[in-house]
Every structure is written in C-alpha cells, then in structure tokens.
Amino acid sequence: AELRKASKRLSCHKRYKIQKKIREHHRKVRKEAKKRGHKKPKKDPGIPSAAPFKEELLREAEQRKQRLEELKQKQKLDRQKEHEKKRKLEAKTNAATVKEKAEGKESSGKSKGKTKKPLNKNSKKSFCGELMKVLEASDVVLEVLDARDPMGCRCPQLEQAVTCSGGNKKLLLVLNKIDLVPKDNIEKWLNYLKKEFPTVAFKSATMMKDKTMVQVTKKRARVDFSESCQYFGSKCLLKLLQEFGKTQDKAIQVGVVGFPNVGKSSVINSLKGKRACNVGLARGVTKSMQAVHLDKQTKMLDSPSIIADPSNSAQALALRGIINPEGSDSAAVLEGVKAIINHCSKQQVMMHYNIPDFRDPEDFLSLLAQKRGMLKKGGVPDIENMAKLVLCDWTGARIKYYSQPPELQKPPPYLTEQKIAEMQEGFNLNNLDQENSNTVQALKHPSPASSIAFQSAGMTNGTIEENKVTEEGSEWGNMETSKEEEEEEEEEEEFTESEDDEDNVEEEDDDVKEATRKAKPGKRQRTPTNSKEQKAGNERSRSLSFSLDKPADEDDAYDFNTDYV
C-alpha cells in the first residue's frame, strides 16, 4: 500500500490563532515606527492635470528615459567587445607558448612527433614496467599463489619469461593462505606443484605489529590481534634462500610477484618480522618496486600485481583482475559474481550464507540482500551493492573455499624435464618436504564441510609487457590523475579555443567543447548528479564499509522471523 502525504490543512482554531499573532505583530511594528518618527516616503504626485504644456513635459520625460536606456545598452555592448578581445589575446599567447614548448621538446629529441606525457603511477603500463624491472633484477623469483585456487593464480606468461630468461634464475612457488583450506587439500596441492617447481607452504601475517599497533593495543585491550599476527613457513623459506645464496657466493635479490590479493607484501612483512611494506584489502596497493633488506645476503623486491588479460573468463577477471569493487562498473562486478557462484557447490553456499534454495545467482543476491537489510527505495533488494560486498568477501580472506588439483599431471609446453631439473637444482627438496609437512601440521585448518568446494578455471593469462597493455577507463575510474596532468589538459583546452578566433561567441564556445571532447578520448565524462543522488551514494558507501567491518558470524546469523515468498 502506498503511503499518502500528510495533509497541509489546519484546524480553524489554529488558523485564527496564527492570524491573531500576525495582527499583533503588525500593530507592534506600527507602534515602534510611530515612536521613532519614521514615515512612509511620499509618492511623486506627477504633473497636475491643470498645469500648462502637460503633454509636452510628459513627452520630454519619456524621451529622456529612452536615451538613458540606449546609453546603458551601448555601454554593455562595449564591455562585451573588450572582454572578447582580451580573451582572444590570451588564447593566442597561450597557443604560442604551447607551440614553443612542443618545438623545444622535438628539437631536444625527447619526444617523437608528439609530446609524451609521463606515465601515471596508477596506469597498467607503469605496473608492467615495474614488474619487468623486478624480474630482470632478481636472482630468485617467488610466485605467490592463493592456496584456495593455486592453479588460477599461476601466470604462464610470467613462468615462461623466468624459465626461458637464461642464466641461473630460479622460480619458487609460495602457497600462501593455507589456513583457509582443508588439510587434505593442501597436501594434494603440495604434491602436485612440487613436481614442476619447488613449493613452500606459507601462512603470512595479515597485521604486523609496529609502533602504531602497540599504541592501539594499549588503549583498547579487548582487541585481539594474536591470530592475524601469526605467520608460519617463514623459517623454511628463509633457510631455502640462504642456502641458495651460499651456492652463488654473492648477495642475492629475491623478487616477489603474483596476481592481486594473493599476499605478496604480507609475505615480505612475515619474512622481515615487522611491517616493511604497505598492505590492504584494496587491490593494487603496491604501485612500484620496493626493496626490503632481510640481511646482508638477501634483498627482497616487492612488485605491483600482474595485469590479468581481458581474454580471460569472467570468473578469472573477477578474482584476479585489478578492479576495485566500489569504484568499478556494477555490470562487470555482477557478471563476475555470477560466474563465481555458478562454479561453486550450491548446498555449501546456502549453508555458508544461511539462505534458502535459490534458482540462479541473481536470486541468491536478492535473498542475501533481504537477509542483510540492503534494500533500495520501496523495499527492492540492492543487488548491485550486494554483489560488490560478495566480491570483496571472495577476494579477501573471509570465505574459506578450496579447489581440487587436476587428476593428470600435464606440465605446460614451456616446462620440459630439463627446465624442471634446472629449477630444482641448488635446493634441498627432501628438507623442504619435511618443513612443509611440519608447517601444515602446526596450523589449524577448516573442515571440508565448513568450506566451499570451488571449480577452478585453470591458469590465468597475464600481460607483463608494456606494448601489449590496453588501458581501460572503466577499470581505472577510481584512480585520480596528478596535478601536472590536469595543468597540461587545461593548456590543451586553451589551445583549442585559439583556433576559432574569427567566429561569434556562441559558435566559439561550441567548437571549444567539441575540441576538448576530442582531446580526451580515454576519459569518462561524468554527468552531474542531484544532491539527493549524491547523498544516497554516500549512504550506500557507508553501509558497504560498515558491513565489511562486521565479523562473518554476525553477518550470517539466520533470522527465523523472516518469511520468504
């Protein structure tokens, strides 16, 4: 039933009371004015009808009034012309300075044909450039894999680049987040992966204690960071790297690479024993190469994430792509969540989220939105924001899911028996197996019943060369441009204005708008929104951040009072 608006009609008693108050107020004002001696200004009586030459006087007054209006109009037109002249002069001078700069850059040889802008740190090309720097500089490359989907975290292009680079460069696999996967599944994956590359079982610390952390724990004694500060497998990995360093007779550099949210920076922090690199739930926190010294012989190199190729499946792009769920297109997020739910065990998803049977992923999202109270106007389930929350859960460490290794061991074409032997040379594999079994035994693992069975999409293709990168505006809408780029864009706008000097003001403005649109093909044009829509968006973002901070048990508590139709 639609809610009716409240009536604006008043009762007679109330209306008469208001009128009485108004009369009293006017009386009071008149009384005060009389005391002050304030009188109303007298009206101009005009020319009396009995006055001689009345018509002539009125005609003269009308002509005088017209002359004044004409003078005002003329002055206004003169001011407009002066303003136009000034604007055209400024545009010409700006165009000349832009041309001089362009000619200077061409003569120095820094630019070829067109002036090159410096690469933005948030761009995919800069990510690929930094990743290639790490690969070239490192003697040992650690490819960090998420234990919940190890095959989906492997990048064949990166592995081929390392194995075929020549020299004595080694590739190690680090199986991170093993505390989120059942014990039997971890052992199966370790047996599968060690036949191709030396593999280390690892559990990194999500929150490292530093000075700020100590202050927080002093103020709030109830907060328990014991589980998030624990890490396992670091001694095994350090020992492995130190043994390899002794065979090289030099200080080695170890590059840490992998897809987003696999825990690259957390692995380095765990090896160092304190917070050396910035970590966070958002994707793409590390934007450039960072060097961290473990000791005199080993130096760790943190790298940006591998860029997932757009040709991958929707499931792989949702889990491995550098898409910020809160800033990206809701259609892409919805498609990714649908692909993830379709590749999961339906019964286990229902058990985990405490929801009844659903027909398809959209039905799942609407049921979950109703359960958590994420509703739009009129009680409609907010599926878009719910999809963003679900994707944040799956890319973070909240959902415990696992995938099975392939039944047949089929190494990729670039991994021959000779290459496998080269990669395993210089490492004590028997000691590594023993250390891995000790790490797995020391950790508490979830049972298969409490975790979700997941069907992996196989290896994820990635782009590691700058030439093959294609920038997409939709994925990078949330990244802000630097001040220097904005200044250059303003110069370009002024340059386009100078081309239409001889046209009228209105035509000139239209041409400028068209030229600025051509000058910015890659940028998304944001349409202005009403204040109500902005408030609604702010409220949704607040609800998202609030629900992300809640523990999983509170989110998924089943409400038996809710009836589902």
Q: Are 176 and 202 in contact (CB under 8 A)?
A: yes
Per-residue confidence of the chain (565 residues) as pLDDT tens digits?
567 888 888 999 999 999 999 999 999 999 998 888 766 677 777 888 888 888 888 899 899 999 999 999 999 999 999 999 999 999 999 998 988 888 877 766 654 444 444 555 567 777 788 888 888 888 899 999 999 999 989 998 888 888 888 778 889 999 988 888 898 999 999 999 988 888 999 888 766 555 443 333 334 444 444 455 677 778 888 888 888 888 887 888 999 999 888 888 888 888 888 777 777 666 667 777 888 888 888 888 888 888 888 888 888 888 887 655 555 567 888 888 888 998 888 888 898 888 898 888 899 999 999 998 989 888 899 998 898 888 888 887 788 888 998 888 888 888 888 888 888 888 888 888 888 888 888 888 888 888 888 888 888 888 877 666 665 443 433 443 444 444 444 444 444 444 444 444 344 444 434 444 444 444 444 444 444 445 444 544 444 444 444 444 444 444 444 444 3
Residue 369 has what pLDDT? 92
Pairing, β 170-176 against β 199-201: parallel
Residue 564 has what pLDDT? 43
Residue 430 has what pLDDT? 86
| Residue 41 DSSP SS3 | coil
Domain boundaries, given as residue ranges, for the chain: 124-208+227-310+404-445, 314-395
Q: Are 340 and 353 in contact (CB under 8 A)?
A: no
pTM: 0.59
Q: At what angle do helices 264-272 and 234-248 cross, to 10 degrees?
A: 80
| Residue 96 DSSP SS3 | helix
User: What are 299's strand-pairing partners?
Assistant: 253, 293
Q: Could you give phi then psi for residue 175, rounded to 5 degrees?
A: -90, 95
The contacts of residue 361 (CB under 8 Å, 6+ apart) are 337, 338, 341, 342
Q: At what angle do helices 124-137 and 156-163 cross, to 10 degrees?
A: 30
Q: How far apart are CA 541 and CA 532, in angstroms?
A: 14
Q: Count Cβ atoms below 10 Å from residue 221 Cβ, excluding itself.
A: 7
Q: Tell me which residue of 138, 151, 475 sits closest to 329, measured CA to CA.
A: 475
What kind and span of H or E run contains 373?
none
Instruction: Please report, as a single letter, which amino acid is at residue 185.
Output: N
Q: Are 169 and 244 in contact (CB under 8 A)?
A: no
Q: Are 320 and 282 in contact (CB under 8 A)?
A: no
Q: Which two tokens stand for residue 337?
A: 């969540």
User: Which residue matches tokens 């599968």?
Assistant: 192
For domain 124-208+227-310+404-445, the CATH architecture is 3-Layer(aba) Sandwich (3.40)
What kind and span of H or E run contains 543?
helix 531-549
User: Which residue matches tokens 């014991």?
Assistant: 226
Which pLDDT tens digit goes with each residue over 291-349? 888 888 888 888 888 888 888 888 888 888 765 555 556 788 888 888 899 888 888 88
Q: Are 340 and 394 in contact (CB under 8 A)?
A: yes
> What CATH code would you report for 314-395?
1.10.1580.10
Opening angle at CA 199, ends 197 and 201, nearest 5: 170
Task: Give the CA dihedral 473, 283, 382, 543, nearest 10 degrees.
Answer: -120
Q: How far apart are CA 537 and CA 527, in angstroms?
A: 14
